[in-house]
Amino acid sequence: MSIMDELPVVVIGAGPVGLAAAAHLHERGLPFTVLEAGDTAGAAVRQWGHVRVFSPWRYNIDAAARRLLDEAGWAAPDLDALPTGAELAAHYLQPLAELPQVKPHLRYGARVEAISRLGLDRLRTAGRDQTPFLIRLADGDELPARAVIDASGTWGTPNVLGASGLPARGERAVAAFLEHALPDVLGADRDRFAGRHTLVVGAGHSAANTLLSLAELAAAAPGTEVTWAIRSASPSRTYGGGDADALPARGALGSRLREHVDAGRIRLLTGFRVHALTPTGDRIAVTVRHADGGEESIVVDRIVAATGFRPDHSIASELRLDLDPVMGATRALAPLIDPNEHSCGTVPPHGVDELSHPEAGYYAVGMKSYGRAPTFLMATGYEQVRSVVAALAGDWAAARDVQLDLPETGVCNSNPADSATGDSCCGPAPADATGKGLATGISGGLLSAPLTLISLDTAPAGGCCGS
Protein backbone atom coordinates (compact mmCIF):
# COMPACT_ATOMS: atom_id res chain seq x y z
CA MET A 1 0.00 0.00 0.00
CA SER A 2 1.37 3.42 -0.97
CA ILE A 3 1.32 6.51 1.20
CA MET A 4 -1.38 7.93 -1.08
CA ASP A 5 -3.69 5.00 -0.23
CA GLU A 6 -3.31 5.72 3.49
CA LEU A 7 -4.30 9.39 3.18
CA PRO A 8 -7.93 10.50 3.46
CA VAL A 9 -10.12 11.78 0.69
CA VAL A 10 -10.96 15.34 1.72
CA VAL A 11 -14.54 16.45 1.12
CA ILE A 12 -15.12 20.21 1.17
CA GLY A 13 -18.59 21.09 2.45
CA ALA A 14 -21.05 19.32 4.75
CA GLY A 15 -24.14 20.08 2.71
CA PRO A 16 -26.36 17.46 1.04
CA VAL A 17 -23.82 16.46 -1.63
CA GLY A 18 -20.78 16.61 0.65
CA LEU A 19 -22.39 14.38 3.26
CA ALA A 20 -23.57 12.01 0.52
CA ALA A 21 -19.93 11.75 -0.56
CA ALA A 22 -19.01 10.88 3.02
CA ALA A 23 -21.63 8.11 3.10
CA HIS A 24 -20.33 6.59 -0.13
CA LEU A 25 -16.72 6.83 1.04
CA HIS A 26 -17.64 5.00 4.23
CA GLU A 27 -19.40 2.25 2.28
CA ARG A 28 -16.32 1.85 0.08
CA GLY A 29 -14.02 1.67 3.09
CA LEU A 30 -12.02 4.74 2.05
CA PRO A 31 -10.67 7.07 4.76
CA PHE A 32 -12.12 10.56 4.55
CA THR A 33 -12.32 13.95 6.21
CA VAL A 34 -15.16 16.42 5.70
CA LEU A 35 -14.30 20.11 6.09
CA GLU A 36 -17.23 22.46 6.76
CA ALA A 37 -16.70 26.22 6.99
CA GLY A 38 -19.86 26.68 9.06
CA ASP A 39 -20.58 25.50 12.58
CA THR A 40 -23.19 22.92 11.66
CA ALA A 41 -24.14 20.50 8.91
CA GLY A 42 -26.01 22.14 6.04
CA ALA A 43 -24.95 25.63 7.10
CA ALA A 44 -25.83 27.12 3.71
CA VAL A 45 -29.13 25.23 3.52
CA ARG A 46 -30.14 26.68 6.88
CA GLN A 47 -29.75 30.20 5.49
CA TRP A 48 -32.77 29.54 3.30
CA GLY A 49 -34.45 27.36 5.89
CA HIS A 50 -37.78 29.19 5.58
CA VAL A 51 -38.15 28.14 1.92
CA ARG A 52 -40.04 24.97 0.99
CA VAL A 53 -38.32 23.12 -1.84
CA PHE A 54 -40.36 21.94 -4.83
CA SER A 55 -38.85 18.45 -4.94
CA PRO A 56 -40.30 15.89 -2.48
CA TRP A 57 -38.15 14.05 0.02
CA ARG A 58 -37.61 11.08 -2.32
CA TYR A 59 -35.41 13.22 -4.57
CA ASN A 60 -33.49 14.76 -1.68
CA ILE A 61 -32.13 11.67 0.11
CA ASP A 62 -28.97 9.94 -1.12
CA ALA A 63 -29.14 6.14 -1.31
CA ALA A 64 -25.93 5.46 0.64
CA ALA A 65 -26.88 8.03 3.26
CA ARG A 66 -30.29 6.38 3.57
CA ARG A 67 -28.71 3.00 4.18
CA LEU A 68 -26.56 4.38 7.01
CA LEU A 69 -29.49 6.22 8.56
CA ASP A 70 -31.79 3.22 8.35
CA GLU A 71 -29.21 1.05 10.12
CA ALA A 72 -29.26 3.58 12.96
CA GLY A 73 -33.07 3.41 13.25
CA TRP A 74 -33.76 6.72 11.50
CA ALA A 75 -37.42 7.71 11.25
CA ALA A 76 -37.70 8.55 7.56
CA PRO A 77 -39.99 11.41 6.53
CA ASP A 78 -42.97 11.07 4.21
CA LEU A 79 -41.20 10.66 0.87
CA ASP A 80 -43.96 12.55 -0.95
CA ALA A 81 -43.83 15.56 1.38
CA LEU A 82 -42.00 18.78 0.50
CA PRO A 83 -39.43 19.79 3.12
CA THR A 84 -38.31 23.29 3.94
CA GLY A 85 -34.60 23.98 4.02
CA ALA A 86 -34.75 23.92 7.82
CA GLU A 87 -36.48 20.53 7.80
CA LEU A 88 -33.96 19.16 5.32
CA ALA A 89 -31.14 20.21 7.63
CA ALA A 90 -32.78 19.13 10.90
CA HIS A 91 -34.34 15.82 9.83
CA TYR A 92 -31.77 14.56 7.33
CA LEU A 93 -28.43 16.38 7.22
CA GLN A 94 -27.87 16.75 10.95
CA PRO A 95 -28.82 13.13 11.80
CA LEU A 96 -26.50 12.00 8.99
CA ALA A 97 -23.66 14.16 10.30
CA GLU A 98 -24.16 12.77 13.82
CA LEU A 99 -23.77 9.13 12.80
CA PRO A 100 -20.68 7.46 14.30
CA GLN A 101 -19.57 6.54 10.79
CA VAL A 102 -19.43 10.25 9.87
CA LYS A 103 -19.10 12.47 12.95
CA PRO A 104 -15.46 11.60 13.88
CA HIS A 105 -14.41 12.58 10.35
CA LEU A 106 -16.21 15.93 10.19
CA ARG A 107 -14.54 19.24 11.11
CA TYR A 108 -16.60 22.41 11.58
CA GLY A 109 -15.21 25.92 11.30
CA ALA A 110 -12.72 24.61 8.73
CA ARG A 111 -12.71 27.06 5.83
CA VAL A 112 -10.49 25.99 2.95
CA GLU A 113 -8.20 28.75 1.74
CA ALA A 114 -6.24 26.92 -0.95
CA ILE A 115 -5.56 23.52 -2.53
CA SER A 116 -2.27 22.51 -4.10
CA ARG A 117 0.10 19.54 -4.32
CA LEU A 118 2.57 18.99 -1.50
CA GLY A 119 5.78 20.73 -2.54
CA LEU A 120 4.59 21.35 -6.12
CA ASP A 121 3.04 24.33 -7.83
CA ARG A 122 0.95 23.78 -10.93
CA LEU A 123 3.95 24.15 -13.25
CA ARG A 124 5.62 20.99 -11.94
CA THR A 125 4.68 17.80 -13.78
CA ALA A 126 7.09 15.04 -12.76
CA GLY A 127 5.55 12.79 -10.10
CA ARG A 128 2.49 14.99 -9.78
CA ASP A 129 -0.16 12.29 -9.78
CA GLN A 130 1.65 10.44 -6.97
CA THR A 131 2.07 13.54 -4.81
CA PRO A 132 -0.51 14.19 -2.05
CA PHE A 133 -2.81 17.16 -2.23
CA LEU A 134 -2.16 19.93 0.28
CA ILE A 135 -5.27 21.54 1.81
CA ARG A 136 -4.60 24.83 3.56
CA LEU A 137 -7.25 26.18 5.94
CA ALA A 138 -7.93 29.80 6.79
CA ASP A 139 -6.52 29.26 10.30
CA GLY A 140 -3.20 28.13 8.81
CA ASP A 141 -3.65 24.43 9.42
CA GLU A 142 -2.64 22.15 6.54
CA LEU A 143 -3.88 18.65 5.67
CA PRO A 144 -2.56 16.12 3.16
CA ALA A 145 -5.12 14.29 1.02
CA ARG A 146 -5.26 11.46 -1.47
CA ALA A 147 -8.04 13.15 -3.43
CA VAL A 148 -10.35 16.15 -3.11
CA ILE A 149 -14.13 16.23 -3.60
CA ASP A 150 -15.13 19.88 -3.64
CA ALA A 151 -18.81 20.15 -2.69
CA SER A 152 -18.54 23.69 -1.38
CA GLY A 153 -21.35 24.97 -3.60
CA THR A 154 -21.93 28.50 -4.84
CA TRP A 155 -24.11 30.06 -2.13
CA GLY A 156 -21.33 32.41 -1.01
CA THR A 157 -20.72 33.83 -4.49
CA PRO A 158 -23.93 35.34 -5.88
CA ASN A 159 -24.02 36.98 -9.27
CA VAL A 160 -23.96 40.76 -9.46
CA LEU A 161 -26.87 42.98 -10.53
CA GLY A 162 -25.08 44.54 -13.49
CA ALA A 163 -26.36 43.24 -16.80
CA SER A 164 -22.86 42.82 -18.25
CA GLY A 165 -21.72 40.40 -15.58
CA LEU A 166 -19.89 43.23 -13.82
CA PRO A 167 -21.24 45.06 -10.78
CA ALA A 168 -23.58 47.90 -11.72
CA ARG A 169 -22.17 51.35 -11.15
CA GLY A 170 -22.48 52.07 -7.44
CA GLU A 171 -23.53 48.51 -6.61
CA ARG A 172 -20.92 47.99 -3.89
CA ALA A 173 -21.65 51.39 -2.34
CA VAL A 174 -25.36 50.64 -1.83
CA ALA A 175 -24.95 47.27 -0.10
CA ALA A 176 -27.22 48.42 2.73
CA PHE A 177 -30.15 48.51 0.28
CA LEU A 178 -29.46 45.10 -1.25
CA GLU A 179 -30.68 41.64 -0.30
CA HIS A 180 -29.29 38.48 -1.80
CA ALA A 181 -31.50 35.58 -2.81
CA LEU A 182 -34.28 34.23 -0.59
CA PRO A 183 -34.61 36.70 2.31
CA ASP A 184 -37.09 35.61 4.98
CA VAL A 185 -39.74 38.12 3.91
CA LEU A 186 -42.54 36.75 6.08
CA GLY A 187 -40.36 35.96 9.08
CA ALA A 188 -37.11 37.31 10.44
CA ASP A 189 -36.69 39.93 7.69
CA ARG A 190 -40.30 41.13 7.59
CA ASP A 191 -39.64 44.62 8.96
CA ARG A 192 -37.27 45.41 6.11
CA PHE A 193 -40.03 44.88 3.54
CA ALA A 194 -43.37 45.71 5.18
CA GLY A 195 -44.75 49.02 3.95
CA ARG A 196 -41.91 49.46 1.47
CA HIS A 197 -41.36 49.16 -2.25
CA THR A 198 -39.18 46.19 -3.15
CA LEU A 199 -37.64 45.47 -6.54
CA VAL A 200 -36.85 41.79 -7.23
CA VAL A 201 -34.38 41.24 -10.05
CA GLY A 202 -34.13 37.76 -11.55
CA ALA A 203 -36.11 35.11 -13.41
CA GLY A 204 -35.37 31.91 -11.50
CA HIS A 205 -37.08 29.96 -8.74
CA SER A 206 -35.40 32.06 -6.05
CA ALA A 207 -36.99 35.18 -7.51
CA ALA A 208 -40.36 33.45 -7.77
CA ASN A 209 -40.30 32.34 -4.12
CA THR A 210 -39.43 35.84 -2.93
CA LEU A 211 -42.09 37.44 -5.13
CA LEU A 212 -44.80 35.16 -3.77
CA SER A 213 -43.80 35.99 -0.20
CA LEU A 214 -43.81 39.70 -0.96
CA ALA A 215 -47.26 39.44 -2.53
CA GLU A 216 -48.52 37.75 0.63
CA LEU A 217 -46.92 40.45 2.74
CA ALA A 218 -48.47 43.17 0.59
CA ALA A 219 -51.92 41.77 1.34
CA ALA A 220 -51.29 42.12 5.07
CA ALA A 221 -49.10 45.25 5.29
CA PRO A 222 -50.51 48.45 3.70
CA GLY A 223 -48.05 50.37 1.56
CA THR A 224 -46.07 47.31 0.53
CA GLU A 225 -45.27 47.42 -3.19
CA VAL A 226 -43.69 44.72 -5.33
CA THR A 227 -41.93 45.16 -8.67
CA TRP A 228 -40.37 42.28 -10.59
CA ALA A 229 -37.69 42.95 -13.20
CA ILE A 230 -36.26 40.52 -15.77
CA ARG A 231 -33.82 41.01 -18.62
CA SER A 232 -35.85 39.06 -21.16
CA ALA A 233 -38.93 40.11 -23.06
CA SER A 234 -41.07 37.30 -21.59
CA PRO A 235 -41.48 35.67 -18.17
CA SER A 236 -42.53 32.32 -19.66
CA ARG A 237 -39.40 30.51 -18.49
CA THR A 238 -40.12 31.51 -14.90
CA TYR A 239 -43.77 30.51 -15.14
CA GLY A 240 -42.65 27.04 -16.23
CA GLY A 241 -44.83 24.12 -17.15
CA GLY A 242 -47.73 24.52 -14.74
CA ASP A 243 -49.75 21.31 -14.59
CA ALA A 244 -47.30 19.65 -17.02
CA ASP A 245 -44.49 19.78 -14.49
CA ALA A 246 -43.62 16.42 -12.93
CA LEU A 247 -42.91 18.29 -9.69
CA PRO A 248 -46.34 19.78 -8.90
CA ALA A 249 -44.97 22.29 -6.41
CA ARG A 250 -42.62 23.68 -9.03
CA GLY A 251 -45.42 23.98 -11.55
CA ALA A 252 -47.67 25.65 -8.98
CA LEU A 253 -44.94 28.16 -8.17
CA GLY A 254 -45.03 29.60 -11.67
CA SER A 255 -48.81 29.45 -11.93
CA ARG A 256 -49.28 31.38 -8.67
CA LEU A 257 -46.74 33.97 -9.74
CA ARG A 258 -48.53 34.51 -13.02
CA GLU A 259 -51.83 35.03 -11.21
CA HIS A 260 -50.30 37.81 -9.10
CA VAL A 261 -48.85 39.51 -12.18
CA ASP A 262 -52.14 39.25 -14.09
CA ALA A 263 -54.00 40.72 -11.10
CA GLY A 264 -51.58 43.65 -10.84
CA ARG A 265 -50.34 42.72 -7.37
CA ILE A 266 -46.86 42.36 -8.83
CA ARG A 267 -45.69 44.85 -11.45
CA LEU A 268 -43.61 43.16 -14.13
CA LEU A 269 -40.87 45.01 -15.99
CA THR A 270 -39.17 43.34 -18.95
CA GLY A 271 -36.00 44.22 -20.83
CA PHE A 272 -34.59 45.41 -17.51
CA ARG A 273 -30.79 45.82 -17.59
CA VAL A 274 -29.37 47.41 -14.44
CA HIS A 275 -26.77 50.07 -15.22
CA ALA A 276 -26.34 52.11 -12.04
CA LEU A 277 -27.53 52.28 -8.43
CA THR A 278 -27.67 55.63 -6.64
CA PRO A 279 -28.78 56.44 -3.05
CA THR A 280 -31.61 58.96 -3.00
CA GLY A 281 -32.17 59.91 0.62
CA ASP A 282 -33.25 56.72 2.34
CA ARG A 283 -34.21 55.11 -0.99
CA ILE A 284 -32.30 53.97 -4.04
CA ALA A 285 -32.59 54.95 -7.71
CA VAL A 286 -32.05 52.10 -10.15
CA THR A 287 -30.94 53.29 -13.57
CA VAL A 288 -31.81 51.05 -16.49
CA ARG A 289 -29.98 51.20 -19.80
CA HIS A 290 -31.79 50.07 -22.95
CA ALA A 291 -30.30 48.35 -25.96
CA ASP A 292 -30.56 51.59 -27.93
CA GLY A 293 -28.52 53.44 -25.29
CA GLY A 294 -31.46 55.22 -23.66
CA GLU A 295 -31.86 55.29 -19.90
CA GLU A 296 -34.60 55.62 -17.31
CA SER A 297 -34.84 54.94 -13.59
CA ILE A 298 -37.09 53.54 -10.90
CA VAL A 299 -36.88 54.51 -7.22
CA VAL A 300 -37.39 51.77 -4.60
CA ASP A 301 -36.66 51.03 -0.94
CA ARG A 302 -35.08 47.57 -1.23
CA ILE A 303 -33.61 45.42 -3.99
CA VAL A 304 -33.51 41.62 -3.91
CA ALA A 305 -30.79 40.37 -6.24
CA ALA A 306 -32.08 36.93 -7.21
CA THR A 307 -29.66 36.79 -10.11
CA GLY A 308 -28.14 33.39 -9.50
CA PHE A 309 -24.70 32.29 -8.42
CA ARG A 310 -21.28 31.61 -9.87
CA PRO A 311 -18.54 29.20 -8.77
CA ASP A 312 -15.41 30.40 -7.01
CA HIS A 313 -12.47 28.36 -8.27
CA SER A 314 -9.86 30.58 -6.62
CA ILE A 315 -9.03 28.01 -3.92
CA ALA A 316 -7.91 25.68 -6.71
CA SER A 317 -5.77 28.21 -8.58
CA GLU A 318 -2.64 26.03 -8.13
CA LEU A 319 -4.38 22.99 -9.61
CA ARG A 320 -4.62 22.11 -13.27
CA LEU A 321 -8.28 22.70 -14.05
CA ASP A 322 -9.83 22.51 -17.50
CA LEU A 323 -12.84 24.79 -17.24
CA ASP A 324 -15.23 25.76 -19.99
CA PRO A 325 -14.74 29.52 -20.54
CA VAL A 326 -18.48 30.17 -20.61
CA MET A 327 -20.03 27.93 -17.97
CA GLY A 328 -17.19 27.51 -15.49
CA ALA A 329 -17.89 23.76 -15.48
CA THR A 330 -15.57 21.09 -16.86
CA ARG A 331 -15.30 21.15 -20.64
CA ALA A 332 -16.90 17.72 -20.83
CA LEU A 333 -19.94 18.66 -18.74
CA ALA A 334 -20.54 22.20 -19.99
CA PRO A 335 -22.03 21.27 -23.40
CA LEU A 336 -24.54 19.02 -21.69
CA ILE A 337 -25.97 21.73 -19.43
CA ASP A 338 -25.39 25.03 -21.25
CA PRO A 339 -28.82 26.71 -21.63
CA ASN A 340 -27.48 28.84 -24.47
CA GLU A 341 -26.94 25.80 -26.66
CA HIS A 342 -29.92 23.53 -26.07
CA SER A 343 -33.66 23.76 -26.05
CA CYS A 344 -35.96 21.26 -24.42
CA GLY A 345 -34.40 17.92 -23.48
CA THR A 346 -33.05 16.02 -20.51
CA VAL A 347 -29.65 16.00 -18.88
CA PRO A 348 -27.77 12.79 -19.68
CA PRO A 349 -26.41 10.65 -16.88
CA HIS A 350 -22.92 11.87 -16.04
CA GLY A 351 -20.26 11.07 -13.50
CA VAL A 352 -16.53 10.82 -12.99
CA ASP A 353 -15.57 11.05 -16.67
CA GLU A 354 -17.41 14.33 -17.21
CA LEU A 355 -16.20 15.74 -13.88
CA SER A 356 -12.50 14.96 -14.30
CA HIS A 357 -9.80 17.60 -14.71
CA PRO A 358 -6.18 17.27 -15.85
CA GLU A 359 -5.48 17.40 -12.09
CA ALA A 360 -6.07 13.74 -11.29
CA GLY A 361 -8.01 13.23 -8.07
CA TYR A 362 -9.71 16.62 -7.88
CA TYR A 363 -13.47 16.79 -8.52
CA ALA A 364 -15.90 19.67 -8.11
CA VAL A 365 -19.36 18.21 -7.53
CA GLY A 366 -22.85 19.44 -6.76
CA MET A 367 -23.82 23.02 -7.50
CA LYS A 368 -20.20 24.01 -8.06
CA SER A 369 -19.84 21.43 -10.82
CA TYR A 370 -22.53 23.22 -12.85
CA GLY A 371 -20.63 26.51 -12.90
CA ARG A 372 -23.08 29.23 -13.88
CA ALA A 373 -25.77 26.88 -15.13
CA PRO A 374 -28.81 27.84 -13.05
CA THR A 375 -30.67 24.53 -12.76
CA PHE A 376 -29.58 21.72 -10.47
CA LEU A 377 -31.22 19.03 -8.37
CA MET A 378 -29.69 17.31 -5.35
CA ALA A 379 -30.28 13.96 -7.02
CA THR A 380 -27.82 14.97 -9.72
CA GLY A 381 -25.14 15.63 -7.12
CA TYR A 382 -25.82 12.33 -5.40
CA GLU A 383 -25.19 10.40 -8.60
CA GLN A 384 -22.06 12.45 -9.24
CA VAL A 385 -20.48 11.53 -5.91
CA ARG A 386 -21.54 7.88 -6.20
CA SER A 387 -19.66 7.71 -9.49
CA VAL A 388 -16.61 9.65 -8.26
CA VAL A 389 -16.24 7.56 -5.10
CA ALA A 390 -16.57 4.33 -7.08
CA ALA A 391 -13.72 5.53 -9.29
CA LEU A 392 -11.59 6.41 -6.28
CA ALA A 393 -12.18 2.88 -5.02
CA GLY A 394 -11.01 1.48 -8.35
CA ASP A 395 -14.46 0.18 -9.33
CA TRP A 396 -14.59 1.72 -12.80
CA ALA A 397 -17.48 -0.45 -13.95
CA ALA A 398 -19.69 1.05 -11.25
CA ALA A 399 -18.21 4.50 -11.75
CA ARG A 400 -19.24 4.54 -15.40
CA ASP A 401 -22.62 2.90 -14.86
CA VAL A 402 -24.24 6.28 -14.28
CA GLN A 403 -27.98 6.73 -14.24
CA LEU A 404 -30.08 9.81 -13.72
CA ASP A 405 -33.85 9.93 -13.51
CA LEU A 406 -35.05 13.50 -13.02
CA PRO A 407 -38.59 14.88 -13.05
CA GLU A 408 -39.64 16.86 -16.09
CA THR A 409 -40.36 20.55 -16.04
CA GLY A 410 -41.61 23.22 -18.39
CA VAL A 411 -38.46 25.29 -18.15
CA CYS A 412 -36.77 25.86 -21.50
CA ASN A 413 -33.42 27.20 -22.55
CA SER A 414 -32.24 30.76 -22.11
CA ASN A 415 -31.81 31.52 -25.80
CA PRO A 416 -35.05 32.47 -27.59
CA ALA A 417 -33.53 31.69 -30.97
CA ASP A 418 -32.96 28.07 -29.96
CA SER A 419 -36.51 27.37 -28.85
CA ALA A 420 -38.32 24.73 -30.83
CA THR A 421 -41.65 25.39 -32.44
CA GLY A 422 -44.75 23.31 -31.99
CA ASP A 423 -48.11 23.13 -30.28
CA SER A 424 -46.61 23.88 -26.88
CA CYS A 425 -44.32 26.78 -26.25
CA CYS A 426 -41.14 24.84 -26.69
CA GLY A 427 -42.49 21.79 -28.43
CA PRO A 428 -41.53 18.22 -27.65
CA ALA A 429 -38.01 17.24 -26.77
CA PRO A 430 -35.96 16.82 -29.96
CA ALA A 431 -35.15 13.32 -31.10
CA ASP A 432 -31.45 13.87 -30.55
CA ALA A 433 -31.85 15.26 -27.05
CA THR A 434 -29.66 12.55 -25.55
CA GLY A 435 -26.63 14.29 -24.17
CA LYS A 436 -28.30 17.68 -24.19
CA GLY A 437 -30.52 19.72 -21.95
CA LEU A 438 -30.84 21.27 -18.53
CA ALA A 439 -30.25 19.58 -15.24
CA THR A 440 -33.89 19.56 -14.26
CA GLY A 441 -35.08 17.49 -17.18
CA ILE A 442 -37.19 19.25 -19.81
CA SER A 443 -39.97 18.34 -22.19
CA GLY A 444 -41.85 21.54 -22.93
CA GLY A 445 -45.35 22.42 -21.78
CA LEU A 446 -44.94 26.11 -21.05
CA LEU A 447 -47.99 28.25 -20.51
CA SER A 448 -48.77 30.22 -23.65
CA ALA A 449 -51.69 32.52 -22.79
CA PRO A 450 -51.03 36.17 -23.69
CA LEU A 451 -49.75 38.49 -20.97
CA THR A 452 -49.68 42.28 -20.93
CA LEU A 453 -46.13 43.38 -20.15
CA ILE A 454 -44.51 46.69 -19.29
CA SER A 455 -41.49 46.70 -21.61
CA LEU A 456 -38.42 48.74 -20.75
CA ASP A 457 -36.65 47.84 -23.96
CA THR A 458 -37.35 48.06 -27.64
CA ALA A 459 -35.65 44.77 -28.48
CA PRO A 460 -37.86 42.16 -30.19
CA ALA A 461 -39.59 39.67 -27.93
CA GLY A 462 -38.05 36.60 -29.54
CA GLY A 463 -39.24 33.16 -28.53
CA CYS A 464 -41.35 32.31 -25.55
CA CYS A 465 -38.50 30.63 -23.73
CA GLY A 466 -36.23 33.61 -23.51
CA SER A 467 -34.72 34.72 -20.25
**Is 448 part of any domain?**
no
Say yes or no: 69 and 82 in one domain: yes
**What is the rounded radius of gyration, in angstroms, for the C-alpha atoms of the chain?**
23
**Domain boundary residue among 348, 378, 400?**
400
Q: Is the pTM of this model over 0.85?
A: no
Q: Are residues 301 and 315 in the same domain?
A: no
Same-domain check for residues 291 and 317: no
**Domain assignment of residue 287, yes or no:** yes
- Can you tell me the distance from the alpha carbon of 390 to that of 335, in angstroms, rounded to the nearest whole number? 24
How many domains does the structure of the chain reveal? Answer: 2
Q: Are residues 351 and 384 in the same domain?
A: yes
CATH number of the domain where residue 86 is located: 3.50.50.60
Identify whether 368 is part of a domain.
Answer: yes
Q: What is the mean pLDDT of residues 343-347?
A: 46
Confirm whether 258 is domain-assigned. yes
The answer to whether residues 7 and 144 belong to one domain is yes
337 within a domain of the structure (yes/no): yes
- One domain, residues 286 and 322: no
Question: Distance between CA atoms of 304 and 210, rounded to whole angstroms?
Answer: 8
Query: Are both 313 and 299 inside the same structural domain?
Result: no
* Position 346 in a domain: yes
Separation of alpha carbons 36 and 255, rounded Å: 37
Host domain of residue 298: 171-305
Same domain for 100 and 48 = yes
Last residue of a domain, one of 355, 375, 400: 400
Please state, rounded to an integer, the average pLDDT across all residues of the chain: 84
249 and 144 in a common domain: no
Structural domain ending residue among the three candidates 305, 322, 338:
305
Shared-domain flag, residues 29 and 111: yes
| Residues 280 and 298 occupy one common structural domain | yes
Question: How far is residue 118's CA from residue 27's CA, in Å, rounded to a whole number?
Answer: 28
Residue 277 lies in a domain: yes
The answer to the question of residue 146 being in a domain is: yes
Q: What is the pLDDT of residues 283-321, one digit of tens each?
A: 999 999 877 778 889 999 999 999 989 999 999 999 999
Q: How confident is the model at residue 255 (pLDDT cuts 50, 70, 90)?
A: confident
Higher pLDDT, 242 or 342: 242
Q: What is the pLDDT of residue 466?
A: 30
Same domain, 271 and 364: no
Span 441-460, average pLDDT: 31
Q: Quick one: pLDDT at residue 447?
A: 26
